[in-house]
């Protein structure tokens, strides 16, 4: 549902809102705006200063929270609408135009109250410091994206040429740094494509396929990241923008390789988007800090468009209270409730658009299937072909054009995993006519690396006919063995035997291929009939186990004090019904450059993780006893200061972002334990560690002490 019109009371309230004269007595910043030529709601302005070799970038944002009270009709209307809706013919604004396009908008030659995020950047665009302050902003020049592009490329004479040229160089460096740091970031003007924040490839519209758009996007991403890191380090609760991946997602390096293939001209955009839709969860808002996978950032948020986005508006209320040392208007619980509302509204709109597109796509698919030309179905996008496949499955006769299109797409390596699933398993009126097509498609799927598992993933997403599946792996003397357990039409099934490979990844891939093949050929068996391999190798559990229950923390502590033992990494898989789940935790420890894996299956994630860490500790005790000897720690606390206080002081002196902490509560050995995670960015490098303790305070000190030790070991000259 959309709200095209505001009621009279909201219009009247908006018309009566006037900025207080005191808002214009703030520090005045002069700068310019860069937007699309038709934009009317201008909420961000840019200005640049120099401090020696460094740059001071000032991003001034319309001070929406100063004009709109929390108990106003305008606020509640913005909360209901969530964001401005941009349609092809017109826009549906989040708040009345008298505010969004006039009183709040940073119009040319006008002064508006703003909140300025001042970021100091090094000559190579590294963030050195962040300051947030109340200001007023005068827009001395409004530029369009295209005007900026022309100034940069054609070196057109302009009064702000030096600043614009410098800003473009900064933006270009920021983009390169993001790619080097593992972000899924593409801006290809020639091809007219770019990646959104979720790593999906989108088309650049005509007014955005230029360097002006790239400039402003990179500066806004930088501002959102810098302020998010700053506020997270200060423990200020805001709505973070989180983006997470699913358990079936490949490593970041593999995903980046596919992105680079697109840049090099190989691969299909639709195929990439279909894959990432399976691997990634939708980016959403929440007060919990989960990180942003697409941007590869520890902390990210939205706060540069409060006129257009309600989440940004909420964050501004929090920020304004923070910088004035006032009581925060929203508690973490209230932010959680707001995030649920925003995310639900966004998903509702996304679903409505999807249904509308499906109706149009179905009509087009039927028209294409009705044609007699053999090439009619080939030169269409993968998304369009998917709808054609679904419609073809409902026909009495399979058109020649469809059979030809399938064969040609196989030859051109242009069949998506979703199309494979539909051709193999969607009910068909004339099964005999599909036999040859299914055989060709199955052979194609089994030859394509990663496709069998992607087909299984799509099926579980669609909830047909495979509602869920889980790979079960076991260590054997020669490597790993794996089988897939799936639920097909409510029955738990599996292949008749395990698949074996040298690595766990290859074993899972092989088992996925065998499961898909057996599923198509109807040779799956009851899962309970399959026995574990005879050569399963377990660990020697005769060794006296550690008495302390926090084995995860013990292993992390040992790893921190032994350079030949890397910090362990944990992954999880789930099996069984939702009401009685079992969690499989795999602990990967790097010992003298070699990876060693340990697996535990328990009723909870925390217990599985703890027991996998215990298995690793017991193995280390047997194979590398020197690692597990308790070493007397060097005293890191001086002058009566706690490790956390020393770390905060070090961050201040070195101009690093303060560490970000997050916690979850677990029950281990019948006791309440806090599992803490600490994330910190040091010289553009990410540091992360974990600790379990009876209290959050104690966990923070343990992690801070571990971090200080890490810093001292890597830089002995560092004064701690």
The pLDDT tens digits of the residues spanning 634-680 come to 455 556 688 888 988 888 888 788 888 887 776 655 667 777 888 88
Q: Where are the strands (E) in 95-179, listed by range? A: 111-121, 127-144
CATH fold of the domain at 551-628: Double Stranded RNA Binding Domain (3.30.160)
Q: For position 279, what pLDDT does the model report?
A: 84
pLDDT in tens, 94-129: 999 999 999 999 999 999 999 999 999 999 999 999
Res 262: pLDDT:
78
In the predicted structure, residue 601 carries a pLDDT above the cut 80: no
Q: Which residues lie across from 30 on neighbouring strands?
A: 138
Tokens of 93: 């604004």
Q: How confident is the model at residue 2 (pLDDT cuts 50, 70, 90)?
A: very low
C-alpha separations of 243 from 154, 200, 219, 439 in Å: 38, 12, 20, 38
Radius of gyration of the chain (CA): 28
Contact 643, 708 (CB under 8 A): yes
Tell me yes or no: is domain 643-714 CATH 1.10.3720.10: no
Mean pLDDT rounded to a whole number for the chain: 85
Per-residue pLDDT, 540: 37
> What does the domain layout of the chain look like in residue ranges?
8-163+181-244+280-354, 465-529, 551-628, 643-714
Give φ, ψ of 4 to 5 degrees: -70, -25
Q: What one-character DSSP code corresponds to residue 264? A: T
Burial class (CB in 10 A: 0-12, 13-18, 19+), 551: buried
- Does the pLDDT at position 240 exceed 80? yes
pLDDT of residue 548: 36
pLDDT category of residue 227 using cuts at 50, 70 and 90: very high
- Tell me the HSE value of 100 on the side-chain side, using a 13 A CA sphere: 23
Beta bridge partners of residue 46, listed in sequence order? 32, 59
Contacting residues for 402 by C-beta, under 8 A, at least 6 apart = 369, 377, 388, 392
Whether 551-628 and 643-714 share one fold: the answer is yes
- Per-residue pLDDT tens for 527-561? 888 876 654 444 333 333 333 356 777 787 788 77
User: Which pLDDT tens digit goes with each residue over 473-512?
Assistant: 877 766 788 899 999 988 999 999 899 888 888 888 999 9
Residues 409-427 have a mean pLDDT of: 87
Number of C-beta neighbours around residue 16 at 10 A = 8
- What percentage of residues in the chain have a pLDDT greater than 90? 42
Positive or negative: CA dihedral 421, 423, 428, 430: negative
> Each residue of 303-316: pLDDT tens digit?
999 999 999 999 99
State the average pLDDT over residues 64-80.
96
CA dist., res. 188 & res. 211, Å (int): 10
The predicted structure's pLDDT at residue 632 = 44
CA–CA separation, 657 vs 119, rounded Å? 12
How many other C-beta atoms can be found within 10 angstroms of the C-beta atom of residue 214?
Answer: 24
What are 279-295's pLDDT values in tens digits?
888 999 999 998 999 99
**What pLDDT sits at residue 633?**
46
Give the torsion through C-alpha atoms of 534, 535, 536, 539, to 10 deg: 130
Q: What is the spatial distance between Cα 376 and Cα 362, in angstroms, rounded to a whole number?
A: 15
* Residue 669: predicted pLDDT: 54
Residue 174 parent element (H or E) = helix 161-180
Copy the structure tokens of residue 31.
């700068």
Predicted model pTM: 0.75
Give dist(CA 239, CA 204) in Å, integer: 28
């Amino acid at each position: 549902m959309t709200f095209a019109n505001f009621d009279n009371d909201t219009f009247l309230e908006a018309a009566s809102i006037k900025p207080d004269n005191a808002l214009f007595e703030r520090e005045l910043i002069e700068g310019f705006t860069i937007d699309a030529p038709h934009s009317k709601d201008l909420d961000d302005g840019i200005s640049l200063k120099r401090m020696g070799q460094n740059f001071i970038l000032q991003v001034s944002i319309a001070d929406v929270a100063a004009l709109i009270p929390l108990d106003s009709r305008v606020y509640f209307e913005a909360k209901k609408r969530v964001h401005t809706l941009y349609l092809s013919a017109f826009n549906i604004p989040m708040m009345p135009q008298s505010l969004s396009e006039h009183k709040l908008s940073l119009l040319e030659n006008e002064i508006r109250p703003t909140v300025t995020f001042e970021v100091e950047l090094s000559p190579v665009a590294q963030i050195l410091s962040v300051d947030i302050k109340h200001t007023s902003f005068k827009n001395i020049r409004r530029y369009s994206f295209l005007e900026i592009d022309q100034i940069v490329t054609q070196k057109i004479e302009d009064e702000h040429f030096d600043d614009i040229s410098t800003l473009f160089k900064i933006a270009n460096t920021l983009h390169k740094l993001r790619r080097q740091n593992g972000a899924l970031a593409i801006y290809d003007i020639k091809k007219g494509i770019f990646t959104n924040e979720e790593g999906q490839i989108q088309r650049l519209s005509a007014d955005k396929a230029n360097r002006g758009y790239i400039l402003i996007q990179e500066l806004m991403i930088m501002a959102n990241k810098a302020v998010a890191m700053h506020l997270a380090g200060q423990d200020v609760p805001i709505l973070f923008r989180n983006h997470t991946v699913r358990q079936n997602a490949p490593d970041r390096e593999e995903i980046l390789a596919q992105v680079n293939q697109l840049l090099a001209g190989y691969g299909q955009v639709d195929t990439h988007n279909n894959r990432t839709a399976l691997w990634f969860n939708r980016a959403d808002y929440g007060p919990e800090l989960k990180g942003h996978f697409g941007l590869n950032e520890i902390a990210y948020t939205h706060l540069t468009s409060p006129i257009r986005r309600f989440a940004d508006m909420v964050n501004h209320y929090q920020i304004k209270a923070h910088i004035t040392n006032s009581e925060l208007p929203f508690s973490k619980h209230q932010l959680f409730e707001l995030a649920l509302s925003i995310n639900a509204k966004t998903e509702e709109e996304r679903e409505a658009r999807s249904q509308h597109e499906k109706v149009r796509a179905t009509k087009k698919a039927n028209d294409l299937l009705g044609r007699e030309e053999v090439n009619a179905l080939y030169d269409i996008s993968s998304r369009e072909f998917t709808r054609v496949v679904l419609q073809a499955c409902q026909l009495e006769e399979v058109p020649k054009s469809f059979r030809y299109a399938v064969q040609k797409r196989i030859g051109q390596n242009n069949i998506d995993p979703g199309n494979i699933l539909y051709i193999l398993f969607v009910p068909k009126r004339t099964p005999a006519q599909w036999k040859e097509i299914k055989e060709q498609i199955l052979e194609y799927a089994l030859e394509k690396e990663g496709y069998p598992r992607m087909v299984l993933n799509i099926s579980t997403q669609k909830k047909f006919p495979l509602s869920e599946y889980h790979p079960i792996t076991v260590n054997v003397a020669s490597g790993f063995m794996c089988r897939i357990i799936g639920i097909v039409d409510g029955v738990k099934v599996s292949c008749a035997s395990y698949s074996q490979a040298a690595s766990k990844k290859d074993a899972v891939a092989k088992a996925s291929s065998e499961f898909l093949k057996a599923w198509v050929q109807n040779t799956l068996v009851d899962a309970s009939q399959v026995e574990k391999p005879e050569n399963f190798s377990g660990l020697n559990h005769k060794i006296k186990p550690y008495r302390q229950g926090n084995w995860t923390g013990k292993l992390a502590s040992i790893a921190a004090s032994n350079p030949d033992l890397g910090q362990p990494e944990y992954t999880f898989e789930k099996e069984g019904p939702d009401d009685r789940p079992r969690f499989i935790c795999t602990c990967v420890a790097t010992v003298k450059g070699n990876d060693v894996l340990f697996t535990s299956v328990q009723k909870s994630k925390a217990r599985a993780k703890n027991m996998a860490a215990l298995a690793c500790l017991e193995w280390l005790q047997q194979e590398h006893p020197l690692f597990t000897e308790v070493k007397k720690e060097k005293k890191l606390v001086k002058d009566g200061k706690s490790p956390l206080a020393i770390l905060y002081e070090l961050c201040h002196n070195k101009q690093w972002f303060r560490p970000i902490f997050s916690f979850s509560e677990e029950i281990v050995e019948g006791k309440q334990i806090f599992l803490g995670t600490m994330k910190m960015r040091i010289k553009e490098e990410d540091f992360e560690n974990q600790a379990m303790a009876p209290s959050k305070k104690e966990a923070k000190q343990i992690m801070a002490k571990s971090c200080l030790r890490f810093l001292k070991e890597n830089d002995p000259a560092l004064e701690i």
